[in-house]
Amino acid sequence: MELNEKITYIKNWLGTGSINIFGLPMSGKDTVGVRLAELIGGRFLSSGLIIRANEKETGKNYTGKGELAPTDIFYNLVLPYFNREDLKLFPLILSSVGRWSGEEDQILSATESSGHKTKAVILLQISENDVLERWEAANILGDRGDRDDDREKAIFEKRCNEFREKTLPVISHYRKLGLLIEINADQNRESVFQEAVDKIYNYALGHSENENV
């Protein structure tokens, strides 16, 4: 089956639901998420972008040392997005929304009540050594955009530690719920995206809630 046919099936299966993408820093979450959202006619929502925009606007610093934003800040800034009128009719592709253990149940509840039910969760699998190599290459190229904080190795390593200590339990929870799709992110971008589409498509075939999809 061609890529476009799989995308169409995924779009019909997802409806106005959501897919949440997790992975270490530099694993390609936004790259995969933005492209997938565009192809299915959805909207891309990154909690990191929302929180950094608020930090820039207010001058506050929740994440500048590589730490995850406190749960109350996360809830106040990110959860209202699920009920926005301009997102109501669209599927959502989420980038690491709810990264702290304990936040996942609130995300499942918020997506369900807003009409954006979490249909699947993606984990981009890659080692910390490999993302560190990507980080070093990106720094040489100056390819990190406005992520000035990532230019310090200690801060980048702290972000990896936060993922290991706080986010892996979240992913384990999604795995127990049968929502997790694991993707090999140690490939070129096109291969990662193709594998993501293939596995989401296969997952959708086995979890279709609509016999007419």
Q: Give tens-digit pLDDT for 38-73.
A: 999 999 999 989 998 899 899 888 887 888 989 999
pLDDT tens digits for range 96-112: 999 999 999 999 999 99
pTM: 0.92
Measured in whole angstroms, how far is the alpha carbon of residue 202 from the centre of its chain? 19
CA angle 211–41–196, rounded 5-degree value = 70
If one counts every other C-beta atom within 10 angstroms of the C-beta of residue 64, the result is: 13
What average pLDDT score do residues 181-187 get?
97
Task: Give Cα separations from 32 to 35, 151, 187, 198 (angstroms).
Answer: 5, 23, 12, 13
User: What pLDDT is attached to residue 62?
Assistant: 85
Stronger pLDDT, 90 or 139, i.e. the higher one: 90
Query: From CA 10, how far away is CA 15, in angstroms rounded?
Result: 9
Q: Is the pLDDT score of 139 beyond 90?
A: no
Per the rule left: phi > 0, alpha: psi between -120 and 50, beta: everything else, 10 is alpha
Identity of residue 124: L
Domains of the chain are 3-205 (3.40.50.300)
Task: Write down the mean pLDDT value for the chain.
Answer: 92
